[in-house]
Structure 1
Amino acid sequence: MGIRYYAYPLPDSQVRFARLEPEAFMSRDPLADAWGLIEVDSETGQPIDPEPRPQPEMLYLDKCWRELQWLFGDEDGPFRRSFDLVRGEVTMTPCGWIPYFGVLDADEVRAVAQNLAEVTAADVDHLLEGHAELYRGDDVDGERRYILEFLGRAQQFLASMTKRRSGLIYMIG
């Protein structure tokens, strides 16, 4: 299945509470939110509602959060401010992993969005040139498109959150 990334808008007035109890502010099924899955009754296996549920406002980075960590990180100096969007690691256990939760207030979202807007395709190209181990097989163009797609989603989502003066909560898990 894999470790994925999900972020949701968070009213700035709720940031303090979300930092104390992040699980209470996350969807109970973020993958279903991202994919618009149909809920199925666990006993009968029949759809509870045959229509896919509408996708809530969210940022879904699939498994690209790791590539974005590499893109926003800097081996030779400080991390970019945009790293705060994907900062964190799951905690591995013998039975799987414990998710990582991050919370950004509206001012942090604005700062991350400003920095994120400066990240370009040239930055992605530079990342891929120096790190052949980042992409699977020989499909450099496919990996480039994959990263650029999710980078664009992140840029749009944070620009929207900035306009609304919203915070956000995210989960890597």
Structure 2
Amino acid sequence: MGIRYYAYAFDSDQTVQALADPLTVIGADPLADAWGLEPGSTEGVTDFRQSLPERDLLYLDKAWPYLQRLTAPRSSDGVARAAYRMFEGEVTFAEDGCTWHPWVRALAPHDVTLIARDLETINDDDIKAGLSGSFATGQAPESEVAYAAAFLDRARGFVRAAARDGRGFAYMIC
């Protein structure tokens, strides 16, 4: 199925709890939440609309590595963008090589405000430059730039709303 990204917003009064244990604010079945399925279902019919409002759940599917790369430090001694905090992380593969343990983090409302400001400054040229080193041709294909830009817009909307409402969020890469 692949490794995916999910973020769940929480109200400011849940910050201490979420920072101590981010899983307390993350849904029990993120894929079901993102795809509009019944939690725990192994089969079903869906229209692929999230079961939670967009202000509460951000689903970046498999686009998160592009956004991670776009906001990461450009060199080993470089500094990451503020927005990198919401994309940072990797799953940890188990010894069997077939399964993995998720990366989970919670971000407090004050962090979300900084991330929202930074996301607003990223433009199409930044996306092209940030993705270019990932492809053999040296340049990111337009389709991949468009894919990353579409998910960046989703991330902007989610984070903008969370910042406006004084909310934090916890995310899971799994």
The answer to which of 111-120 and 122-131 deviates more is: 122-131
SS in 1 for 2:89: coil
- Contact 1:38/1:50, CA 8 A, preserved across alignment: no
The answer to whether residue 112 in structure 2 is matched with residue 113 in structure 1 is: no
Q: TM-score of the superposition, structure 1-length normalised?
A: 0.85
When residues 11 and 134 of structure 1 are mapped into structure 2, their CA distance, relative to the original with a 3 A threshold, is farther
Partner of 2:14: 14
1:127 maps to a residue whose letter is: G
Residues 20-35 of structure 1: matches in 2 within 5 Å? 20-35=20-35
SS in structure 2 of the partner of residue 89 of structure 1: coil
Matches within 5 A, 1:1-173: 1-38=1-38, 55-56=51-52, 57-76=56-75, 77-93=78-94, 94=96, 95-133=98-136, 140-173=141-174
Tell me by how many angstroms 1:39 deviates.
5.8
Contact 2:91–2:103 (Cα < 8 Å) also in 1 = yes
Q: CA deviation at 1:75?
A: 2.0
Give CA-to-partner distance per residue, 1:111-154, whole Å, 9 cap, x none. 0100111011110111233331499xx98111111100110000
TM-score scaled by length of structure 2? 0.85
Q: Is the 2:66–2:131 Cα contact (8 Å) retained in structure 1?
A: no
- CA gap 1:41/1:159 in 2 versus in 1, 3 angstroms: closer
Unpaired runs of at least 5, structure 2: none
Distance 1:29 1:12 in 2: 23
Q: 1:148 & 1:17 partners in 2: Cα distance? A: 33
Do the aligned partners of 2:34 and 2:48 also contact (CA within 8 Å) in 1? Answer: no
Q: Which runs of 4+ in 1 moved over 3 A?
A: 38-42, 49-54, 128-131
> How many percent of aligned residue pairs carry the same amino acid?
34
One-letter code aligned to 1:108: D
Decide whether the 8 Å contact of 1:38 with 1:52 is kept in 2. Answer: no
TM-aligned CA distance change 1:128 to 1:26, over 3 Å: closer
CA distance in 2, matches of 1:12, 1:52: 29
Q: Are the aligned partners of 2:17 and 2:24 in contact in 1 as well (CA < 8 Å)?
A: no
Q: In the TM superposition, what is the alpha-carbon distance from 1:22 to its structure 2 partner?
A: 2.1
Contact kept, 8 Å, 2:105 with 2:172, in 1: the verdict is yes
C-alpha deviation, 1:26, in angstroms: 1.1
- SS of 1:117's equivalent? helix
Structure ID, larger Rg: 1
Q: Contact conserved, 2:35 with 2:46, CA < 8 A, in 1?
A: no
Aligned residues: 167
Stretches of structure 1 lacking an aligned partner (at least 5 in a row)? none
